[in-house]
Amino acid sequence: MAIRGKHILLGVCGGIAAYKSAYLTRLLVKAGARVQVVMTPDATHFITPLTLSTLSGNPVLVDYFDTATGTWNNHVHLALGADAIVVAPASANTLAKFAHGLCDNLLCAIYLSAKSPVFIAPAMDLDMWAHGSTQSNIKQLQSFGNRIIPPGTGELASGLSGEGRLAEPDDILQALTSFFSADLPLSGKKALVTAGPTWEAIDPVRYIGNHSSGKMGYALAAQLHRLGADVTLVSGPTNLDAPHGVHFVGVTSAAEMLDACLAYFDHSDITVMSAAVADYTPNAVADRKIKKTGDGLTLELVKTKDILATLGSRKRAGQLLIGFALETHDEQSHARAKLQQKNLDFIVLNSMRDEGAGFAGDTNKITIIDRQNQAETFTLKSKTEVAADICDRIMRMLKPSGG
């Protein structure tokens, strides 16, 4: 779903419709969103913070300063950390405050600091909703770029019937889903990315590994997500945080990475294999730490199963499979051979002879080689920029011919 992994800040205002915020929180969490609830003080009279904290999995925030924990709730950080702010229910009082820049509670301060899209779902009695002041405030809020999720019509808490009911939680979820899905070039596509090294155990405390930092793969996962793809990142051990919005699967060994890739590959439209997978693994793993005896240690190594070749043999029409090649000599000939042998759509070549490229650093220098043997070499760039170049090539390949 488009909102999986999104950081949603849910504002809850005082009003009987606040009870629906519990169901909305549950729907958002079920859809994979990370939900931070912020309540106005009046909202706590209608539904308890404990209820929404339990459903969201995060402490509910009400005040600038939490005297119980001594914590300052920084409204700027809260606003900037949200992919979207949703205020549901939004009372007439809060609508007026938002429209005129009043800032007497934490939710108002977050709203005034917001750079992400703001969705406002009003709820109030029909006469309050129809009043000229409220309608003027709604127009003002729309002029600021806020998105209004209009109230529904039906029975109201006052006993009257008419317009003013909070939009149903399912409709609010749909509004968010539609927003995050719209106009993104890879919307509706599923992507699988591998990153980092694999560690092949020798004994319970030692392993064979490599110097891969995972930075290139993580940058690719983040860029594919920004372009609208539903991304699964399978990563070996790194010190990096998973990109927001990306489904993360942590693995250690080459065998674990193979199993994870096989679980997701068949349903992926785009697969980018940037992990540095070990070519060999110990034939036997000691169940205890190997003690230092004698002058040397001999390990019998066996080949790991080739993940890229395995996926290439399963690739169906319409799937894109992209591999990486890190070479030290005869770079292009080795990369072209790998491209053909493993049934790739294109390969991304790194040369260890290029200064600033390869493992660990924040930059990379690549050459993309396609199945027509056309090679395009790029200048040294940040790995974020390199990820954008690779994704541009992916989008060109997905675009229908003549489109």
Q: Is 279 annotated for ligand binding?
A: yes
Single-letter amino acid, residue 373: N
For residues 111 and 105, the answer to whether their CB atoms sit within 8 Å is no
**What pairing do the DSSP bridges indicate for beta strands 375-377 and 247-250?**
unpaired
Beta carbons within 10 angstroms of residue 132's beta carbon? 7
Angle at 248 between CA 243 and CA 254, to 5 degrees: 120
Q: Is 139 annotated to bind ligand?
A: no
365 is in an annotated binding site: no
291 marked as binding residue: no
Residues annotated as catalytic are 210
User: What strand order describes the sheet that includes 375-377?
Assistant: 247-250, 230-235, 190-195, 270-273, 320-327, 346-351, 367-370, 375-377
Q: How many CB atoms lie within 10 A of CB 150?
A: 13
Q: Tell me the DSSP string of 222-268.
A: HHHHHTT-EEEEEE-S-SPPPPTT-EEEE--SHHHHHHHHHHHHTT-
Whether residue 20 is annotated as binding a ligand: the answer is no
Closest C-alpha to 189, from 2, 383, 38, 381 = 2
Judged by phi (left if over 0) then psi (alpha if -120 to 50, else beta), residue 388 lies in alpha
Q: Are 98 and 65 in contact (CB under 8 A)?
A: no
Q: How many CA atoms lie within 13 A of 196 on its CB side?
A: 22
How many residues make up the chain in this entry? 403
| 89: preceding bond cis by omega (within 30 degrees) | yes
Q: Which residues are documented as binding site?
A: 279, 289, 324, 338, 342
Q: Which residues are documented as binding site for CTP?
A: 279, 289, 324, 338, 342
